[in-house]
Structure 1
Amino acid sequence: MAAGTYELEAQRLIQDRIAHLRGLRFADAAALPETAGEETLVGGRKCALTVFVQRILSGQLLVTVQVARRGLLGLLSFQMEQGLVFARDGTVRDAASEELQNTGG
């Protein structure tokens, strides 16, 4: 399967999970496990789909959805991710790439 097709399928998987998470309230997001993962196939390749929940300095929650797969004899990892930031006042917004990088994403 072409790399472009794999990337499109991985992105769609992430977006589907983000759409589901976007409907949560702050308390619901806070109740999620810190890390929850599952194996899935994306474009015929075994991948890990993981949801991470982290408290960030402002008291908000960063919820990150990541699809990762091993490459080059298992020595490298390729990953794609997207995140949401949940505020106590009920607002939910897309996480900036800097927020994902600053928390280890």
Structure 2
Amino acid sequence: MRLWPCRTPGDDYIAGYAASNMLKHKLMLNVPSLTAQNGVIIFLEGALNIPDRSNVMQMLAEIPGVSAVKIAETAARPMTQAPVADVPAQPAKQPAERWWR
């Protein structure tokens, strides 16, 4: 049996998996202000107003690649990013220039 090296999931995967699979499908919650940055899932304050918030945050912290789950204050950090469903545009990769030209 051949084992391939595992990659740590990226932020778009983490945000999409958390919002779609965990929150929407398993818990029947719609949380549009969820983002992920450097493996940290971030909610805007007030976005996760449910009785068992700590249990939901613990479930999300167990997603592979997640290092923390945090609640951001709206006054200190306004939401300026695209919604979770949008993938940030990646610059097109240019072929490396040959140094011997």
**TM-score, normalised relative to structure 1:** 0.30
Higher Rg of the two aligned structures? 2
Q: Which one has the bigger strand percentage?
A: 1
The TM-score with structure 2 as length reference comes to 0.30
Question: RCO greater where, 1 or 2, for CA within 8 Å and sep 6 or more?
Answer: 2
